[in-house]
């Protein structure tokens, strides 16, 4: 009698990353911190777009910081695209940071 062996292979697909944050934030002028990109299942972060030249993102924790202190009178809205990558793929989201005027 011949016995057959059957092996079932199961491919586990990691969940895709997804954002758990609002895409519009307000920050008071004069500071450096813009936003923390909050994402589930992400392993790295990046930003792009015209206004990304004013910002840096920590690729491991998603904290986005301005390169210079913000000044409402100079520029009061920054737009960029945030991208997070994880084992399950990548996802992008437009982000707007509004600078609030501080009474001086």
What's the pLDDT score for residue 13? 75
Model pLDDT for residues 38-56, shown as the tens digit of each residue: 999 999 999 999 999 999 9
User: In the chain, what are the domain boundaries?
Assistant: 18-100
- From first CA to last CA, the distance across the chain in angstroms is 92
CATH 2.60.120.10 fits 18-100, yes or no: no
Residue 1 has pLDDT above 60, yes or no: no
| Rounded average pLDDT over 64-80 | 97
pLDDT at 25 over 90: yes
Q: What is the mean pLDDT of the chain?
A: 91
């Amino acid at each position: 009698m011949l016995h057959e062996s059957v092996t079932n292979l199961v491919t586990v697909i990691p969940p895709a990353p997804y954002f758990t944050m609002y895409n519009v934030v307000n920050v008071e002028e004069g500071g450096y911190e813009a936003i923390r990109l909050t994402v589930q299942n992400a392993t790295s972060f990046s930003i792009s777009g015209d206004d990304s030249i004013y910002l840096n993102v920590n690729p491991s924790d998603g904290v986005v910081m301005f390169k210079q202190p913000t000044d409402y009178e100079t520029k009061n809205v920054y737009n960029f695209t945030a991208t997070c990558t994880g084992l399950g793929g990548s996802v992008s989201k437009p982000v707007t940071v509004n600078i609030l005027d501080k009474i001086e």
